[in-house]
Structure 1
Amino acid sequence: MGPATAITYEWRGDVDNAALDELHAEAFGHPVEQTDWTARLRRHSLGWVCAREDGRLVGFVNVAWDGGVHAFLLDTVVARRNRSQGVGAALVGAAAEGSRGAGCEWLHVDFEAHLRPFYFDACGFRETAAGLIAL
């Protein structure tokens, strides 16, 4: 086996809708959809981070925002074959850097309980009180 290929991270990188649909479906366990990610991101996001290995999308995180100082992580996904290699934490780190560079002061995330070690230990989030209404 040859040397490992470096993974690159790009803030507001070009998004291939089909590749992101496949990655999202794999990560969240749903059928591949035909989402127009490009339009969605341009309309609702401060930014996003794409992780690529040999040109192939292997990770993604979306950063929504309130138009002010608060940014919110959504859709943090890493390809199954690239998990447990620090890709997710690097995505979140790049998202934090991009958000800070855009003038945000806070980066929020919500997650399922089994992801606590990832967000708190690997990414450096701290616990806060929050609320949620299922619509």
Structure 2
Amino acid sequence: MITYVWRDAFGNDEVEALHAEGFGHEPLASDDWWGRVRRHSLGWVCARRAGTGALVGFVNAVWDGGGHAFLVDTVVAGSARHEGVGTRLVALAAERASAAGCEWLHVDFEERLRPFYINACGFSPTPAGLIALRA
């Protein structure tokens, strides 16, 4: 069983380890996830395995302070994939963003994740733009 908590307390090390696994990089000891979400986020959702409390999923909902929220850092541990964890993380973030008065929830993603975001989570495809600020 997985539990989901909006604005759950977490350790930097556990989020960084999950992020590193999901995004394919070495964990960075200097990343201050707790400080980052407290400064910039509307909220975040932590998914934990019942019994062990292990963090198996995370999504961060940042916002503009008004009508727009943006999902970033959606990640699910390999051991918890294909259990509906990602869709529940996104659904809870959407519910809370709506309750906070947001009118729109945005997400950008790699093409390989289109079935997840469009089909499983219900996002509508839209044109968007991107400028790479660092090569």
For this structure pair, what is the TM-score category when the shorter chain's length is used for normalisation? over 0.9
Aligned to 1:29: 24
Equivalent position to 1:97, from 90, 95, 98: 95
State the 1:36 CA deviation.
1.1
Question: Residues of 2 paired with 1:91 and 1:16: CA distance?
Answer: 18
Deviation by residue 1:53-74 (Cα, 9 ceiling, x = unmatched)? 0311000000010110000000
State the 1:25 CA deviation.
0.3
Structure 2's unaligned 5+ residue stretches are none
Structure 1's unaligned 5+ residue stretches are 1-5
State the 1:84 CA deviation.
1.0
Equivalent position to 2:114, from 92, 113, 116: 116
Letter in 1 for 2:67: V
How many positions carry a matched residue from both structures?
130
Letter in 2 for 1:42: R
Equivalent position to 2:45, from 27, 49, 57: 49
Question: Residues of 1 paired with 2:63 and 2:125: CA distance?
Answer: 20
Question: Residues of 1 paired with 2:13 and 2:85: CA distance?
Answer: 21
Question: Residues of 1 paired with 2:63 and 2:88: CA distance?
Answer: 20
TM-score (norm 2): 0.94
TM-score (norm 1): 0.94
1:78 maps to 2:76: yes
Q: How does 1:8-19 map to 2 (within 5 A)?
A: 8-19=3-14
State the 1:81 CA deviation.
0.8
Q: What is the RMSD of the two structures over their aligned residues, measured on CA atoms?
A: 0.6
Aligned structure 1 segments of 4 or more residues deviating by more than 6 angstroms: none
State the 1:85 CA deviation.
1.0
